[in-house]
Amino acid sequence: MDRSQQPENTLETVPDPLPAHSTATVNEAHRTHAGADADTSRAAVRLRDVHYRVDGRPVLRGLDIDIGAGAITAIMGPSGTGKTTVLRLITGQIFADSGVVEVEGRDVAQLDRDALYAMRRRMGMLFQNGALLTDLNVFENVAFPLREHTRLPDRLIRTIVLTKLHAVGLRGAVDLLPQQLSGGMARRVALARAIVMDPQILIYDEPFAGLDPISMGVVMRLIRSLNDALGVTSIVVTHDVQEVSQIADACYILSEGRVAAFGSPVELAAHPSPMVHQFVAGLADGPVPFHYPATDYRADLLGLTTPA
Amino acid sequence: MSGLGGELLASLRAALERLGAMARFSGRLLMLTPSGFLRFRLVVEQIYNAGALSLVIIMTCGLFVGMVLGLQGFDLLQRFGSEDSLGTAAALSLLKELGPVVTALLFAGRAGTALASEIGLMRATDQLSALEIMAVDPMQRIVLPRFLGGLLSMPLLTAIFIAIGLFGVQLVGVQFLGVDQGQFWSQMRGAVELGDVREGLVKGLVFGAACSLIAVHEGYNAAPTAEGVGLATTRTVVISAVTTLVLDYILTALML
Amino acid sequence: MRSSRTIDLSTGLFVLLGLAAILFLVSQITNREFSLGTDSYRVTAQFGNVGGLKAGAPVSMAGVTIGRVESISYDMKLFKAVAVLRIDKRYGQIPNDSDASILTAGLLGGQYVGISPGGSDEVLKDGDRIELVQDAIVLENLISKYLFSQADKRAEDAGSAKESAP
* Residue C89: count of CB within 10 angstroms of its CB: 12
Describe the strand order of the beta sheet including A57-68 as a list of residue ranges. A57-68, A43-54, A98-103, A106-107
Strand partners, A259: A254
**Strands, E assignment, A222-263:** 233-237, 250-255, 258-263
C23 to chain B, closest Cα gap in Å: 9
* Interface residue ranges in chain A relative to chain B, Cβ cutoff 8 Å: 91, 93, 117-118, 120-121, 123, 125, 127-129, 131-134, 144-145, 148-149, 190, 193
Residue A9 predicted with pLDDT over 60: no
* Residue A167: count of CB within 10 angstroms of its CB: 23
pLDDT band at A28 (very low <50, low <70, confident <90, very high): very low
pLDDT band at A33 (very low <50, low <70, confident <90, very high): very low
Please compute the mean of the pLDDT values over residues A18-25 and round it to a whole number: 36
- Residue A204 identity (one-letter amino acid): Y
Residue B215 predicted with pLDDT over 90: yes
Quick one: pLDDT at residue A306? 59
- Integer CA distances (angstroms), A107 to A43, A85, A102, A103, in order: 13, 17, 4, 7
Best of A134, A195, A198, A200 to disrupt the B interface (most B CBs within 10 Å) is A134
- Residue B173 domain flag: yes
Interchain pair B162, C21: CB under 8 A: yes
Lowest mean pLDDT among A137-146, A249-258, A293-302, C105-114: C105-114
Nearest CB neighbour to B135, from listed A120, A128, A193: A120
Lowest mean pLDDT among A104-118, B62-76, B113-127, C49-63: C49-63
B145 to chain A, closest Cα gap in Å: 14
ipTM above 0.85, yes or no: no
Please compute the mean of the pLDDT values over residues A181-187 and round it to a whole number: 87
User: CB within 8 A of C69, min separation 6: which ones?
Assistant: C53, C54, C55, C56, C57, C58, C59, C83, C84, C85, C86, C112, C113
Is the Cβ–Cβ distance between B37 and B43 less than 8 Å?
Answer: yes
Residue A38 predicted with pLDDT over 50: no
Q: How far apart are CA C51 and CA C54, in angstroms?
A: 9
Please count the residues of chain C: 166
| B54 to chain C: closest CA residue | C14
Q: How far apart are CA A35 and CA A250, in angstroms?
A: 12
DSSP A103-128: ETTEEGGG--HHHHHHHHHTEEEE-T
Domain containing residue B152: 29-255
Give backbone dihedrals phi and psi of C52, rounded to 5 degrees, phi first: -100, 20
Residue A31 predicted with pLDDT over 50: no
- Residue B13 domain flag: no
In B101-130, the residues whose Cβ lies within 8 Å of chain C are: none
- Residue B23 domain flag: no
The secondary element (H helix, E strand) that includes residue C70 is strand C64-75
- Residue B199 domain flag: yes
Strand partners, A203: A125, A235
- Residue B5 domain flag: no
Residue B154 predicted with pLDDT over 90: yes
Q: What is the mean pLDDT of chain A?
A: 80
- Residue B16 domain flag: no
Nearest CB neighbour to A117, from listed B125, B126, B135: B135
**Strands, E assignment, chain A:** 43-54, 57-68, 72-76, 98-103, 106-107, 123-126, 201-205, 233-237, 250-255, 258-263
More confident residue, C70 or C31: C70
Q: How far apart are CA C106 and CA A118, in angstroms?
A: 73
Give backbone dihedrals phi and psi of C35, rounded to 5 degrees, phi first: -130, 130
State the pTM of this model: 0.74
- Residue A211 identity (one-letter amino acid): L
Using a CB cutoff of 8 Å and minimum separation of 24, what contacts does C67-75 make? Answer: C67/C36, C67/C40, C67/C91, C68/C36, C69/C112, C69/C113, C70/C42, C75/C46
Strand partners, A236: A74, A204
Q: How far apart are CA B152 and CA B33, in angstroms?
A: 12
- Residue B121 identity (one-letter amino acid): L
Lowest mean pLDDT among A18-22, A131-135, B102-106, C11-15: A18-22
Mapped onto helix, strand or coil, the DSSP state of residue A63 is strand
Quick one: pLDDT at residue B208? 95
Percent of chain C having pLDDT more than 90?
5
Quick one: pLDDT at residue A17? 41
Please compute the mean of the pLDDT values over residues A204-233 and round it to a whole number: 87
Residue C29: list chain B partners with CB under 8 A.
91, 166, 185, 188-189, 192, 197
pLDDT tens for each residue of A98-125: 888 888 888 888 888 888 888 888 888 9
Cα C92-C96-C100 angle, rounded to 5 deg: 90
Is the Cβ–Cβ distance between A147 and A196 less than 8 Å?
Answer: no
B119 to chain A, closest Cα gap in Å: 11
pLDDT band at C32 (very low <50, low <70, confident <90, very high): low
- Integer CA distances (angstroms), A154 to A133, A140, A142, A169, B80, in order: 20, 11, 13, 22, 72
Please compute the mean of the pLDDT values over residues B245-249 and round it to a whole number: 95
Please compute the mean of the pLDDT values over residues B29-43 and round it to a whole number: 84
Q: How far apart are CA A208 and CA A185, in angstroms?
A: 12
pLDDT tens for each residue of B91-138: 899 999 999 999 999 999 999 999 999 999 999 888 998 888 888 889
- Residue B110 domain flag: yes
| CB half-sphere exposure, B91, CA atoms < 13 A | 27
Structural domain count of chain B: 1
Quick one: pLDDT at residue B150? 93
DSSP B53-90: GGHHHHHHHHHHHHHHHHHHHHHHHHTTT-GGGHHHHH
Instruction: Tell how far CA A55 is from the center of its chain.
Output: 26
Residue C36 predicted with pLDDT over 70: no
Residue A245 predicted with pLDDT over 60: yes
Interchain pair A133, B135: CB under 8 A: no
Strand partners, C115: C100
Residue C163 predicted with pLDDT over 50: yes
Interchain pair B156, C25: CB under 8 A: no
- Residue A188 identity (one-letter amino acid): R
Q: What is the mean pLDDT of chain B?
A: 89
In B141-200, the residues whose Cβ lies within 8 Å of chain C are: 153, 155-157, 159-160, 162-164, 166, 185, 188-194, 196-197, 200
